[in-house]
Structure 1
Amino acid sequence: MMVFAHLSIFTVLYSQNYTPDQIDNALIIKSEKLRIRGEKKELISFNEKYIIISQNQNYLKGEILGYINIANIYATIGDYKESFYYLRKAERKIKKINDAYLSARLYHEYGQTNYGIGLYTNALKYNSQSIYYGKLISNRNEREILSGIYASRADFLHDIHQPDSSLVYLHKALNIKSTPVINSLIANHYMVYRENPDSSSYYLNNALKLLQKTDYWNVQRGQTYYFYGNFLNKKKEYEKALMYYTKSVAILERTKRVYNIPLLYKTIAGTYRILNDQKGEKEYLEKYTRINDSLSKVCNESINISIDEMIKEKESADISKKNVFFVYKSVVFCLIVILLLAFIHCQQNRDIIKQKEFETDVLKEKLNNSYDYIIELAKKNDPNFLNKFQEAYPDFIKNLLEINSNLSKSDLAFCAMIWAGFTSKEIAQYTFVEHRSVQNKKHRLRKKLNISSDVDLYFFFKNLSDDS
């Protein structure tokens, strides 16, 4: 009897007809309320329900929104593999519909997820696409998404040490929609970079006023309390700062924002140190170490996603080559025509050429800065080394995989260190292995890449990079 009752409820639930507006309202407004409260299980169940409803009613927008919402949940808790899975499901469906809001949401989440695994260049690329589609949105309520997109770009720019540009985008976000977190971020900028306590206090007071209209257990409150604690810390009101830090931790734990918590623990430990409270400092340093190690493990697993995707793309490209070989001559002819037209066009537009040359110089400068940062990661044996190297020099890794697609990530990192000019002795020192082990690995690498013993590996890799 109970089973029959459950089946009846299920049938009624998913067979009920909803209007598109009702589905949109559920997946945009109600889902967002669950998200900011950190209701993970309820949020996934809620979106799965409306995905099924949308499928039954052939409402493609609702199905896509559900996938994007679930991807956001998984990214928030650090499960980037699942996040990418749902984003790809949304991306496959979105090709069938022309909707600027959905495209803005999709690329926004792609940017956030890439940012979460440390791929800042990719994050900014997706964010730019998101801004493009966001500006095309005609519906006023849906257009408010631009506030969050601009705020995310401000985050990305802040982390690559462009605070002034970050502030510009924070104000753009604020002009569209004033939220406690955006006001808090602007306040933090004036406190840290401008040393302007009056402006900082003004925006923090705005944030605290806006919190009066929200539930207590809200991620916006947790993040605002953190920044307010920093403001009090700067004013040397350490006891009061600790109170707000503790409140922030409790809220962020409850709303499942675990990736914000390590920095909080570290900040609390530092505040206890100022107060000469060794017990409190030790307690929070231990908490920081435990959670940071745990999250680092998850992050180290996640940063391999980009390499895996590149290998898959290569395999797919190899298959495509076989399928399109018969049109090779036609493609070559078309390319010749295109190149000829491009040459004529470039001759008529010298100013464009000069602009491109300037952009190339800027890119080279950025790559030089990236090189120094990557070298430091290698010396620290940081797991992010290969990921950052691949992001800065993608063609080198791609050319290696062209020679042998079975190279492991360890092989690729080893090749990258040789390319960067590290000697065998230095590689052994930085990777904590014996010098003999490095020599043996070089010997095995020669076999995998079919490099004769009379060829210097360093020059081989440099030539490989130049050919790219």
Structure 2
Amino acid sequence: MNTARSAFIRYFVFFALVVSGNLCTAQETPNETKQIDALISIANQMHVEGKSKQLLTISNDIISRSNKLKFDRGMVYGYYYIASCFSFDGKFTKSNEYLKKAQTFSKYLDSDYRQNYRINGLLADNYRDLELYQLSISSYHRSMQYLKHIKLKTVIDSLSLATNYDNLSVLYNAMNLGDSAYYYLNKDKAILKNITFEDAYIEKSSCYLGLGTYHYKLNHIDSATFYYDQSLDLLKGKNHPFEISALYSKAEIYAKTDDSEALKYFELALSKAKEHDLPDLQADIYKAIGEIYSSRKNYKEANWYQEKYMKLKEQLNRSRTGQRDFAVNEVLNQQKQKFNNNQTSNTYNTYAVLGVFTFLLVIALYLVHKYRTKNEKITTETELLLNEKETIISKKEEETQVLKLKVNESFEEIVQLAKDNSPEFFSRFQEVYPNFVTNIMGVNDKMRLSELTLCAYIFLGFNTKDISSYTFKSVHTIRSRKYNLRKKFDLSPEENMELWLKNLPNNPTT
């Protein structure tokens, strides 16, 4: 249920940012673009209120008008709105498709860090809801990097950062990493405490809901109830879809002591989930209501709700599995394309080296000729060249030592992340060893994310027992997966996989 939170909390931030941007530029734009800016403001209000159907209609109008005028900003915002509508409806790969379209307007986006923040933030939301947690973490952190580029930060930028912290807390909560979720909730809360926007009720309500969930999982019922009530108070009378999650959470509290009151809250949440056409939430509520009737031994009602839950969940899982596979394949194809580009670049580099070598050979022959005619002068020039060469070599050696020190520090960091089974391990590993994935994909482009992560563990020198211990999997499971890797890489039993991985082209050893 908590994964639904970030489907809503980005709305107000987006609205405030764009409206403020429009006010700053309205006097400088032609009438046609002013009209598009006006549509953007209307669309943002729909975005805030969660009116996805109306938003989809006006977004297509924005794109149509902007396309005729070659108005890049309108195209970017229009595509983003459509992406948010598809994300809201659970069509995450379709949402990503429109986000990629928005990203094609790179010239405009280079000057709009805030829009880049939102695009990467929504990508992260989609990856998280597809349970592609590593990709989600990377996108959230990339999103925050764009906020750091903004020199004159506003209150809205602070609200944007709070939104990202909230989304990270949702992500870590979905991964059952309560302490990490609580860490980001506190960062979120610290920012929101200083924000007085009345319309920031969505972000504040979400933060309270997250804190309530944290305490609920620890069985701190009084604290959980306090935060859930705070969340509901902020949403009272708003008829916003986010209220569904708050009602569901409050119903869970009552389910422990008063199932009649719990049923009342669940049914209200179900009614609103149907009104806003949110099948994910409907499925969770069907299951919860069925469990109440089962505890009352009313098996007829319990079975009815259980069947509704199973049917809807099966449809959702089928859709999610297809979308998840598509998203993973898309990322792997990007890595493959990167590898191919690197191969092309390496070919060009080879020709460049040959060219430089030929050039140096010509110079050497020229120097020999000159030496024969002006021996004394050449001797002096040669000494200067040798001195310069020694200076360059000395400088390179110093740079190499500094680089080795940095690599060693990074190596220790990622080893610790691996031992902690941290969700940030593979993302950080790729930053330290940027050629690792592309080199492996060059050998076999059918690799899955879990297989690439196992390769990273092997590359770092962990044995089967270590990997089993750190990843909480059996030794037999790790051995089977390593055997499958050997088959994919066509390695003989005698070959050392760790050395093989380290000897791939461009892979630096540790």
Common topology (TM > 0.5): yes
Structure-2 separation of matches of 1:264 and 1:396:
44
Contact map agreement 1:101 1:134 (CA 8 A) in 2: yes
Q: Which residue of 2 aligns with 1:113?
A: 126
Residues of 1 paired with 2:348 and 2:308: CA distance? 62
User: Corresponding residue for 2:45?
Assistant: 29
Distance 1:224 1:16 in 2: 42
Instruction: Report how far residue 88 of structure 1 moved.
Output: 0.8
RMSD of the TM alignment (CA)?
4.3
Aligned length, in residue pairs: 400
Aligned residue in 2 for 1:164? 182
CA distance in 1, matches of 2:144, 2:190: 12
CA distances 1:280-303 after superposition (whole Å, capped 9, x unpaired): 322222222112211111121122
Question: Would you say the 8 A contact 1:107–1:130 is kept in 2?
Answer: yes
* 2:228 equivalent in structure 1: 204
Q: 1:363 aligns with which of 381, 397, 417?
A: 417
Quick one: structure 1 residues 402 and 187, their matched pair in 2 at CA, closer, same or farther if it must change by over 3 Å? same
Aligned counterpart, 2:247: 225
- Number of the residue aligned with 1:343: 400
Q: 8 Å contact 2:339–2:438 — kept in the other structure?
A: no
The residue aligned with 1:90 is 102
Runs of 4+ in structure 1 displaced over 6 angstroms?
336-339, 368-371, 393-397, 419-422
Letter in 2 for 1:56: K
* Matched position secondary structure for 2:108: coil
Q: Distance in 1 between matches of 2:315 and 2:77?
A: 31
Alpha-carbon distance in structure 2 between the residues aligned to 1:320 and 1:466: 18
Other-structure match for 2:306: 285
Distance 1:368-1:67 versus aligned 2 partners, 3 A rule: closer
Q: Report if aligned partners of 2:124, 2:139 keep a CA contact under 8 Å in 1.
A: yes
> What amino acid does structure 1 have at the position aligned with 2:120?
Y
Aligned match of 1:191: 216
Match of 1:268 in 2: 289
Counterpart AA for 2:47: S
Query: Corresponding residue for 1:253?
Result: 274
TM-score by length of 1: 0.71
Question: What is aligned with 1:403?
Answer: 443
1:245-281 CA distance string (max 9 Å, x none): 1221221233232223333222222222333322232
Determine helix, strand or coil for the equivalent of 2:277.
Answer: coil
Measured in 2, the distance between the counterparts of 1:112 and 1:338 equals 46
In structure 1, what is the equivalent of residue 378 of structure 2?
A: none
Q: CA deviation at 1:92?
A: 1.6
For the structure 1 residues 337 and 83, does the alpha-carbon distance in structure 2 shift closer, same or farther, using more than 3 Å as the test?
Answer: farther
242-251 vs 201-210, greater mean Cα deviation? 201-210
1:154–1:169 Cα contact (<8 Å) kept: no
Q: Give the letter aligned to residue 60 of structure 2.
A: E
For residues 399 and 355 of structure 1, the distance between their equivalents in structure 2, rounded to whole angstroms, comes to 23
Deviations, residues 49-68 of structure 1 (Å, cap 9, x unaligned) = 11222333443222211111
Identity percentage of aligned residues = 15
1:315–1:211: structure 2 CA closer, same or farther, 3 Å change rule? closer
What letter is aligned with 2:302?
A: E
Q: Does the C-alpha gap of structure 1 residues 208 and 322 become closer, same or farther in structure 2, counting only changes over 3 Å?
A: closer
Q: What code does the residue aligned with 1:186 have? A: L
* Counterpart Cα distance in 1 of 2:101 and 2:79: 7
- What displacement does 1:450 show? 5.6
Deviation at 1:408, TM superposition (A): 8.5
- Answering whether residue 161 of structure 2 is matched by residue 146 of structure 1, we say yes
- 1:441-467 Cα shifts (integer Å, max 9, x gaps): 99xx96x8666xxx339x675654454
Q: Is the 8 A contact 1:150 1:173 kept in 2?
A: no
Match in the other structure for 1:12: none
The 1:331/1:221 distance shift into structure 2, 3 A limit, reads farther
Unmatched tracts of structure 2, length 5 or more:
1-30, 357-392, 469-475
Contact 1:31 1:43 in 2 (8 A): yes
Bigger relative contact order (CA 8 A; separation at least 6): 2
Displacement of 1:355: 5.0
* Bigger radius of gyration among the two: 2
Rounded to whole Å, the distance in 2 between the matches of 1:85 and 1:195 is: 42
Q: Which amino acid aligns with 2:167?
A: S
TM norm structure 2: 0.66
Quote the offset at 1:73 in angstroms: 1.8
Distance 1:239 1:89, change over 3 A: same
Deviations 1:38-96 (A, max 9, x none): x33x3222111112223334432222111112112222323222112111111121443
Change in CA separation of 1:241 and 1:138 when aligned onto 2, cut-off 3 Å:
same
